[in-house]
């Protein structure tokens, strides 16, 4: 005689397996956590997911063990964000939990292949996708050589704030580094108001304060600025001074990720970007082809609890 498990039992085990599979595919660097030297667990640890979701470790462990516990929509929303679920995965999570999604149109935090293709098509205009924590999630070849050699920067360090205060080449590229850094700190403080309790935000702030006296001084001013387009001068090491207009295109609500472009203001700057794009293309051809486009270097994504951004 065959015994059929109750529907609730099947759902709980499917949910447990799904959460485990999503947890194991994410690297610590993608969510702003240090890897550490002794990591045997594939992907994130359970306690790390619990930390990112602001839930108890024991409670999350029980969830992955398919125990009979109640899960609120708010907790499911936090788990979806912590595990970087795209729109389909998010819908599947709520379906398995038998819970209505409180934000069914929440933008997908992933950088899709179509967005990557769009970044490449924008060349020679430098373009990237950032989140509100100023993580650089994806970028085209010209942006990758505009302010420093981003391909040479560790994925967990591809953050505009971190580079602005710690990376010599990035700082040297700014014609007025003091004013640029004052502005970005004020924008970061304004953005952080909605994320004060989130571990990844607090970790970035602590890291910056520990590393840079300049950042500590600017942070103590409590200045805030909103986001907007502006022109700036970039002193590129390969092609010289560029006059660019920094623009933003939101890929969802204002609290979501956005496309950042650096459009040339004059013909000299346009010609300079074309030369830079040519140099970046030559550098890319020298690297082995990855699983993406033939002959193009693979650029890992750092973190992604997505919200707004810019530099």
Residues in the chain where the model's pLDDT stays below 70: 1-7, 36, 103-110, 229, 252-256, 283-311
**Using one digit for the tens of pLDDT, what is the confidence trace for 76-89?**
888 998 898 887 88
Measured distance CA(87)–CA(13) in Å, rounded: 21
- The pTM (predicted TM-score) of the whole model is 0.60
Measured distance CA(179)–CA(157) in Å, rounded: 22
Strands (E), the chain: 127-130, 136-139, 230-236, 240-250, 258-264
| pLDDT value at residue 284 | 59
**Using one digit for the tens of pLDDT, what is the confidence trace for 105-134?**
555 555 777 888 999 999 999 999 998 889
Contact 306, 109 (CB under 8 A): yes
* DSSP per-residue string spanning 184-217: HHHHHHHHHTT-TT-HHHHHHHHHHHHH-HHHHH
Measured distance CA(234)–CA(175) in Å, rounded: 6
| pLDDT value at residue 125 | 95
| pLDDT value at residue 3 | 44
All domains of the chain in start order, with CATH: 7-97 (1.10.260.40), 113-285 (3.30.450.180)
| Alpha helix positions (H), the chain | 7-24, 46-53, 57-64, 73-82, 87-97, 113-121, 143-146, 160-166, 168-173, 177-192, 199-211, 213-219, 267-285
The DSSP code for 31 is G
| pLDDT value at residue 294 | 30
The DSSP code for 159 is B
Q: Are strands 230-236 and 240-250 parallel, antiparallel or unpaired?
A: antiparallel
| Tokens standing for residue 221 | 């001013």
| pLDDT value at residue 310 | 38
Measured distance CA(141)–CA(163) in Å, rounded: 18
Residue 140 φ/ψ, nearest 5 degrees: -95, 175
Closest to 78 (Cα-Cα) out of 57, 55, 61? 55
Neighbours of 149 (CB within 10 A): 15
| pLDDT value at residue 254 | 57
């Amino acid at each position: 005689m065959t015994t059929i498990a109750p529907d609730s039992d099947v759902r709980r085990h499917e949910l447990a397996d799904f959460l485990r599979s999503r947890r194991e595919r994410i690297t610590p660097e993608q969510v702003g956590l240090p890897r550490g030297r002794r990591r045997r667990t594939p992907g994130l640890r359970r306690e790390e997911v619990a930390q990112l979701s602001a839930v108890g470790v024991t409670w999350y462990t029980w969830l992955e063990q398919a125990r009979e516990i109640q899960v609120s929509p708010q907790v499911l929303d936090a788990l979806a964000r912590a595990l970087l679920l795209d729109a389909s995965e998010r819908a599947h999570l709520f379906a398995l939990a038998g819970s209505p999604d409180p934000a069914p149109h929440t933008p997908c935090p992933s950088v899709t292949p179509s967005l990557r293709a769009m970044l490449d098509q924008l060349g020679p205009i430098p373009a990237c996708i950032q989140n509100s924590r100023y993580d650089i999630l994806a970028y085209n070849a010209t942006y990758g050589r505009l302010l420093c050699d981003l391909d040479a920067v560790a994925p967990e360090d591809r953050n505009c704030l971190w580079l602005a205060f710690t990376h010599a080449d990035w700082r040297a590229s700014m014609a007025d580094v003091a004013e640029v850094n004052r502005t970005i700190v004020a924008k970061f403080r304004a953005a952080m108001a909605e994320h004060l309790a989130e571990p990844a935000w607090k970790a970035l702030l602590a890291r910056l304060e520990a590393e840079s006296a300049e950042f500590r001084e600017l942070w103590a001013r409590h200045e805030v600025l909103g986001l907007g387009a502006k022109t700036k001068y970039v002193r590129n090491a390969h092609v010289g001074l560029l006059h660019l207009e920094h623009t933003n295109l939101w890929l969802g609500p204002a609290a979501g990720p956005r496309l950042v472009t650096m459009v040339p203001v004059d013909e000299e700057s346009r010609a300079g970007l074309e030369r830079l794009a040519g140099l970046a293309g030559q550098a890319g051809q020298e690297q082995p082809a990855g699983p993406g486009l033939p002959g193009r270097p693979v650029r890992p994504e750092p973190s992604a609890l997505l919200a707004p951004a810019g530099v």
